[in-house]
Structure 1
């Protein structure tokens, strides 16, 4: 899997699992446009890979991601002053939205390991994960409206993750909260009290994923994403076709045979 040089990301492969670590600790891993483009390249390479089953997103030095880098916004302001007809703010904001869509649609399982600051864009990435685990003292929030700007690209994913009522409160009032409240809202799935507990939770998720059919997981994600966008009977027809194709395919045949023979399927890690 070729992704080119990454200056703001650390990549580490372990079997079929790829760890992507945000590495801008001097700004609590806030995302600049270069980092967004690097992550976009990595996600596109992962999406095209049959070797990667899961992607683990986390931040270096105790923080996940503090949102967007304010320096990018200052530079955008300077570019607009030089060219009043341009709209660099649109381009900057929309680039992150494209990244969220890419992560959201990834065939592989996306796991977010959340520590320290989980703000703005970091909050948005958590909302497009399949599995989110966090430290109890992680700090979550949507600070954008306190800066006089909307959480434009993030808001739709927040609504889908935790519902409109709670999303309105978090975006408009802007409270900060920690792991237990993130669990109550449905933003995360598991909360750990310390680093050892966080590692244990992640290891349990990876162990479970090692025994899941990667193609079956990809098809399942695709079906779930289409709920609400297609009439239910049409969706169930598509699901039945997908089921038939899967059970007749090599992964499904081996999985059902292994179950009958009381052994692990050959594709299990």
Structure 2
């Protein structure tokens, strides 16, 4: 199951299926989509936080689901249900990558296969010192179908190639060194760092945060000049909307801006 909680300007999605080590099935993928939709539906939401319960982030795909699909013949229309099952996860990763809200993965224990891809697609990956990341698909006779483009987007083509072709398992320090994790923290320091990061995001004006993500996302697919034209319009809109005036006024008198929120402000 997936637990979804909204706490003020932050949405928390917790993978909680200990019997399968939080493996991904249709319901889990759909639930993550629901959590993302909830975060995006409120203009003042700053971030979606994804983590796993029970000391494991996510063991990858649910093999019981794979076996059930393998037992089904391909329908007469020729559309293999395995294709839809696999592609739905890629659609979730696409949504995560293009989301206007900040996305944070908190990785404890194993992040394998789809779990590694899920983490890699998030904007920030915080890992425990005992976390392990792996992409073992090729050792199981499978391509890392939906996660490969997202691993490559984070690590770069050649680093992703080395990882995906070998099915290597990385320790937290190794994941940090190659860019799969952004920070590694021991024990309780992991939660403390998450709170600190959410506090930082809580100081960001929500529309400015979304505009910043949009500028960076547009740069992935369009010429630099087009992105800069869009960025100039976003800058002008912010100046004329009044939010920048509030930010500058708050800076002048050294007070928090009106939009500042903290992680401990509770549920809406």
TM-score range, shorter chain: over 0.9
Runs of 4+ in 1 over 6 A off after TM superposition: none
**Greater relative contact order (CA < 8 Å, ≥ 6 in sequence):** 2
Q: Which runs of 5+ in 2 are unaligned?
A: 262-268
Q: Judge conservation of contact 1:190–1:201 (CA < 8 Å) in 2.
A: no
| Aligned twin of 2:193 | 201
Deviation readout 1:160-215 (Å, 9 max, x if unpaired): 10111110011001110111111111122210121x11111111101111111111
How many residues align? The count is: 261
TM-score for both structures, normalised by structure 1? 0.93
Listed as ranges, the matches of 1:50-199 within 5 Å are 50-80=43-73, 85-194=78-187, 196-199=188-191
Change (3 A) 1:170 1:26: same
Change (3 A) 1:228 1:13: closer
Distance 2:23 2:29 in 1: 10
Q: Judge conservation of contact 1:80–1:86 (CA < 8 Å) in 2.
A: no
Q: Which runs of 5+ in 1 are unaligned?
A: 1-7
Aligned residue among 217, 238, 241 for 2:233: 241
Distance 1:130 1:100 in 2: 12
TM-score for both structures, normalised by structure 2? 0.93
Change (3 A) 1:105 1:81: closer
| Aligned twin of 2:258 | 266
Q: Judge conservation of contact 1:31–1:69 (CA < 8 Å) in 2.
A: yes
Residue 81 of structure 1, CA deviation:
5.5
